[in-house]
Structure 1
Amino acid sequence: MKAVVLAGGYATRLWPITEHRPKMFLPVGENTVIDEIFEDLEADDRVDEVFVSTNERFADTFADYLDDSPFEKPTLSVEETVEEDEKFGVVGALEQLVGREGVDDDLIVVAGDNMISFDLGDFADFFEEKGTPTLAAYDVGDRERAKSYGLVQLDGDEVVDFQEKPDDPQSTLVSIACYAFPAETLPDLTTYLDDDNNPDEPGWFLQWLQRRGAVHAYTFDGAWFDIGTADSYLDAVEYALDGGTLVADDATVEGSDLGDVVHVMSGTTVTDSTLDRAVVFEDATITDSEIRNSGIDHRAPTASADLSGALIRPHPSVRAGDHF
């Protein structure tokens, strides 16, 4: 069995904190999301190779990371894109990878920005039992939120209907970016794309497969975070920290009040400030400020600021990025 970790996006909605780093490397507590995925795949003896699908822009970053990591299975597979508007789409990139790497085994595919509470080994067990294309599904519990995802309707654990980002959701059970495909279905990627179908959203491909044969859903409780926006990133951090605070040993915090869900990273200095629900990256400096619901990027100086819902980049003065 092979695995693909999808890491080819540019995460423009999270700029500036992802402008020069893949969002899969954003810390969530003591770890990163992609580390959690690699750990599960490394522990599964059925998976003998893990392809990390990324773009040319971040290829060197991933290569350095993998060289320094304890993981033995991952290898890079690089898309020939450097900008958002050059992307092949998720299905297109997956089809190219399967051809480029000569993949002809059963295949697990998971997004590198998926923070999930189940073990991918359990998902692989379910897939092997069913022997059909398989997706993971989670009840988001909110119809408004469900509009942003592919909805699945089940008969038992078999998918009987699929709606991609519906305007009027009939349920709140959504497909997350975690799939498994039997080897014999991989050529269907090319057939699907040759028919001018949507190359971007994997849900459309699963819907296309479901109309031609059985597709099953692995449902799970617990937690799932799609780290695509600043708000969802902070939600993931809150889950990882269990609502608490994490301060690096070599960070300096003086005369400051750290509230709930605060991560202060290595080399950072915080003085005479109040932080609540905030992530402060390495070597930043915060002085006489109130920071809420915000991310302060690497080496960003922030002084005499009152910030809420901002992403701040390194700059001689405070500069807000995307807002939550």
Structure 2
Amino acid sequence: MKAVVLAGGYATRLWPITRHRPKMFLPVGDGTVIDDVFEDLEADDRIDEVFVSTNERFAPEFETYLADSDFEKPTVSVEDTSEESEKFGVVGALAQLIDREGVDDDLVVVAGDNLISFDVADFVDFFETKSAPTLAAYDVGSKELAKSYGLVQLDGDRVVDFQEKPENPNSTLVSIACYAFPAETLPLFETYLSDGNNPDEPGWFMQWLQENDEVYAFTFDGAWFDIGTPESYLDAVAWSLDGDTLVDPDATVKNTVLGENVHVMEGAEVVDSALTECVVFPNATIRNADVRHSIIDEETTVEGLDLSGALIGAHSQLTNGD
């Protein structure tokens, strides 16, 4: 069995934080967003090879990351894109990867920017009992949120209806970016694309599959975060920290009140300030400031300011001019 970790996006909604780094490398607790995915795939003996599908711009960063890690299965598979406007779409990129890497085994596909509370091995167990295309489904608990995802309707665990980003959802059970495909269904990617169907969101492909064949859903409770916005990233950090603070031993924090869910990284300096629901990247400096629900990138200085909901890029200087 093979696996693909989707890591080809440019995360423009998280710019400037992700302008020069893959969002999969954003820290969540003691690890990064993508660490949990790699760890699950590494531990499953049924999966013998993992392809990291990324773009030309970020490929060197993934190659360096993997070379410095203990993971043995992943290799980087590069899409021929370096800008958002050149993207093939997820389905198009998957079809190209299947052809480029000669994949002809059962295939598990997981988005590298998803933080999920279930073990991928449990999902693979379910898939093997069905021997049919399978997706993971989660109840987001809000019809407003459901509008942004592929909505699934089930009869038992079989998908009987699939609607990609419906304007009027009739439920809150959505498909997340975790899929499995039997080897014999892989040629259907090219069939789907050659018929002129949407190459972007995988939900459109799953809807097309469901209309032509049986598709099953692995439902789970717990937590799931689609890390695509500052809000969802901070929500994931809060879930990981569970109200605690995480301060690197090489950071300096003096005369400062740290509220819930604050992560201060290596080399950062926070003095005479108050922080709540914040991520402070390495070597940032915060003095005499009140910062809430914000992300402060590396080598940035914030001084004498009251910030809420801020997204401050690297090497910035924000000071009170009074």
TM-score (normalised: structure 1):
0.97
1:12 correspondence with 2:12: yes
Partner of 1:196: 196
Once the two structures are superposed, what CA deviation does each residue of 1:136-174 show, in whole Å capped at 9, x if it has no partner?
A: 000000110111000000000000000110110000000
Partner of 2:61: 61
Tell me how far 1:265 sits from its aligned partner. 0.4
Q: Secondary structure at the match of 1:60?
A: helix
1:3 correspondence with 2:15: no
**Does the CA contact (< 8 Å) of 1:107 and 1:183 recur in 2?**
yes
Please list every run of at least 4 consecutive aligned residues from structure 1 whose deviation after the TM superposition is greater than 6 angstroms: none
Q: Which amino acid aligns with 1:245?
A: T
Q: How does 1:25-174 map to 2 (within 5 A)?
A: 25-174=25-174
Partner of 2:21: 21
Q: Which amino acid aligns with 2:57?
A: R
Partner of 2:278: 278
**Does the CA contact (< 8 Å) of 1:140 and 1:172 recur in 2?**
yes
Structure 2 unpaired stretches of 5+: none
**Aligned length in residues:** 319
Q: Secondary structure at the match of 1:57?
A: coil
Cα RMSD, aligned residues only = 0.8
Once the two structures are superposed, what CA deviation does each residue of 1:69-92 show, in whole Å capped at 9, x if it has no partner?
A: 000000000001111111000000
Identity %: 71
Q: How does 1:205-284 map to 2 (within 5 A)?
A: 205-284=205-284
Tell me how far 1:314 sits from its aligned partner. 2.8
Tell me how far 1:244 sits from its aligned partner. 1.1
Q: Which amino acid aligns with 1:262?
A: V
Q: Secondary structure at the match of 2:58?
A: helix
**Does the CA contact (< 8 Å) of 2:299 and 2:316 recur in 1?**
no
For 1:19 and 1:180, locate their aligned partners in 2 and report how far apart those are by CA, in whole Å: 31
Tell me how far 1:249 sits from its aligned partner. 0.4
Tell me how far 1:119 sits from its aligned partner. 0.3
Q: Secondary structure at the match of 2:4?
A: strand
Q: Which amino acid aligns with 1:14?
A: L
Partner of 1:187: 187
For 1:290 and 1:313, locate their aligned partners in 2 and report how far apart those are by CA, in whole Å: 18
Q: Secondary structure at the match of 1:170?
A: coil
For 1:74 and 1:44, locate their aligned partners in 2 and report how far apart those are by CA, in whole Å: 13
Tell me how far 1:243 sits from its aligned partner. 1.6
Once the two structures are superposed, what CA deviation does each residue of 1:14-69 show, in whole Å capped at 9, x if it has no partner?
A: 01111111000001000112110000000000000000000000011000000000
**Does the CA contact (< 8 Å) of 2:298 and 2:315 recur in 1?**
no
Tell me how far 1:306 sits from its aligned partner. 1.0
Q: Which amino acid aligns with 1:67?
A: A
**Does the CA contact (< 8 Å) of 2:133 and 2:181 recur in 1?**
yes
Q: Which amino acid aligns with 1:71?
A: F
For 2:215 and 2:144, locate their aligned partners in 1 and report how far apart those are by CA, in whole Å: 26
Tell me how far 1:205 sits from its aligned partner. 0.3
Partner of 1:294: 294
Structure 1 unpaired stretches of 5+: 320-324
For 1:315 and 1:266, locate their aligned partners in 2 and report how far apart those are by CA, in whole Å: 16
Once the two structures are superposed, what CA deviation does each residue of 1:221-252 show, in whole Å capped at 9, x if it has no partner?
A: 00000000000000000011012110000100
**Does the CA contact (< 8 Å) of 1:301 and 1:314 recur in 2?**
no
For 1:150 and 1:273, locate their aligned partners in 2 and report how far apart those are by CA, in whole Å: 43
Q: Secondary structure at the match of 2:97?
A: helix
TM-score (normalised: structure 2):
0.98
Q: Which amino acid aligns with 2:115?
A: M
Q: Which amino acid aligns with 2:296?
A: I
For 1:158 and 1:76, locate their aligned partners in 2 and report how far apart those are by CA, in whole Å: 33
For 2:166 and 2:303, locate their aligned partners in 1 and report how far apart those are by CA, in whole Å: 44
**Does the CA contact (< 8 Å) of 2:17 and 2:314 recur in 1?**
no
For 1:314 and 1:8, locate their aligned partners in 2 and report how far apart those are by CA, in whole Å: 22
Q: Which amino acid aligns with 1:165?
A: K
